[in-house]
A and B are shown apart, each in its own frame.
Chain A
Amino acid sequence: MNGIHDLGGRDGIGAINPTPEEPVWKAEWEKHAHTFFPLAFRAGFFGVDQFRFGMELIEPVHYLTSPYYEHWLESVIYHGERVGQLDRAEVEERYRYYLENPDAPLPEGKDPDGELVAFLEAAIPAGVPAGRDTGKAPKFAVGDRVTVVDDAPKGHTRKAGYIRGKTGVIELAHGEMIYPDTAGNNLGEAPEHVYTVRFTNEELWGAEEAEPNGSVTFDVWEPYIVPAS
């Protein structure tokens, strides 16, 4: 979707103001919000592409002005409701309770054998690979000049606005991986070949505006590209 999350190349967003050092968690709630990601994944709320789409649906002004982990929270609620694990009215009711009683305890846990901790201790070092091998032959190879299809899908896609219609050269070929344009839209994995394409700054921003002597590489799935004419 042409959402506000698609930020590459937008002007006037403001200064970055990087901090030299900062704690891993900026607030206690961030630890909990982060833990939603692996555990809601385990519970079948979403795959990573669906999780991202849940964030893209956040209202734009809120998206730009909220702390990052609030995006995660919103996506967890969106998918929790979608799969029938969370009810928005119930979340709202409990939210009001905890807002008025911030020190009220959480319910007692129901995991006597520590399966959830064991899941984290297994999943974090093992990861959840997106690579797939269906045996499909790649249509492109390293060195090919390709152009990104200039269309604007309404659902989840990783085809960022700033590379649409642009021409670059394939730098790396990675084999097949889960296709976000299906997986993120609840349509299954449908693996496609992934390539890293390098675009010159001049191609992306025009000779007048481009910084000299530079390029941007962007990963595309095979349906995103066609041979350059």
Chain B
Amino acid sequence: MSAPQKVTADHQAEIAARVKAVEAIMIEKGLMTTEAVDRLAEIYENEVGPQLGAKVVAKAWTDPEFKERLLADASKACSELGIGGLQGEDMVAVEDTDDIHHVIVCTLCSCYPWPVLGLPPNWYKMPQYRAAMVRAPRRVLREEFGYDVPESVEIRVWDSSSELRYWVLPQRPAGTEGLSEEQLAALVTRDSMIGVGAPKAAA
């Protein structure tokens, strides 16, 4: 691991105790319950995750009118599928083409489109990604993510500094003409919607 992530077991135990201390006070004040914690955990484990974004992408790949609505107003288009909410109130989907590749970052904190991608992976929130992605995206994609973007393709990095939540509509993989929306959704990865990877190839 890189230098700034030296989190020891002792430190984990300390944080766990401090979280418990705050939670105990909030519970006594009627501001929190363990039932609420369990429900929230369940929502982000099973209900809200990148499978929702994949569904949106697959629909955009197969339905040109939906794609147009998605690119015009992503939050509104996603709401047609019952997808939206916290940290995705104002979403913008940016489309990859043969000439342009997009990638998202939040250099100031960890803004991420939760309703379509779920909660961000750790690396997205850590200082290393936040520092480097705006500075040297092509190098980072190649060296850290094994994703080689040819120099002829422009890279546009979207730093999510406001409450707008950007995410990437990746290109439909070649050889997927006969696939159903469900089969296509299975090819859409979280990383392809962040912009740090490609969708899976057709089997």
A residues adjacent to B (C-beta < 8 A) = 5-11, 13-19, 22, 24-29, 31-36, 38-40, 42-43, 48, 52, 55, 64-70, 73, 76-77, 80, 85-86, 90-99, 102, 106-111, 114, 116-117, 119-121, 123-131, 158, 160, 162, 172, 174, 177-178, 194, 196, 198, 204-205, 211-221
Contacts and interface: CB of A to CB of B under 8 A. Distances in A.
A39 B131 contact: no
B17 interface: yes
B37 A127 contact: no
B43 interface: yes
Given A16-B126, A80-B22, A94-B24, A67 B15 contact: yes
B36 A35 contact: yes
Contacts of B136: 211
Given A66-B7, A102-B13, 9 more contacts: A14-B128, A29-B20, A33-B15, A39-B36, A68-B122, A85-B25, A86-B25, A177-B90, A221-B162
B33 interface: yes
B199 interface: no
Contact of A18 (B21, B121, B139): B121
A120 B40 contact: yes
A106 B20 contact: yes
Q: How large is the interface on B (under 10, 10 to 19, 20 to 34, 35 or more residues)?
A: 35 or more
Interface string B88-122: 11101000000000000101111000010011011
A31 B139 CA distance: 34
B170 interface: no
Contact of B84 (A16, A43, A127): A127
B130 interface: yes
Interface in B1-53: 1-7, 11-41, 43-45, 48-49
Given A98-B17, A120-B39, A120-B43, A211 B155 contact: yes
B17 A27 contact: no
Contacts of B123: 16-19
Nearest to A21: B121
A217 B159 contact: yes
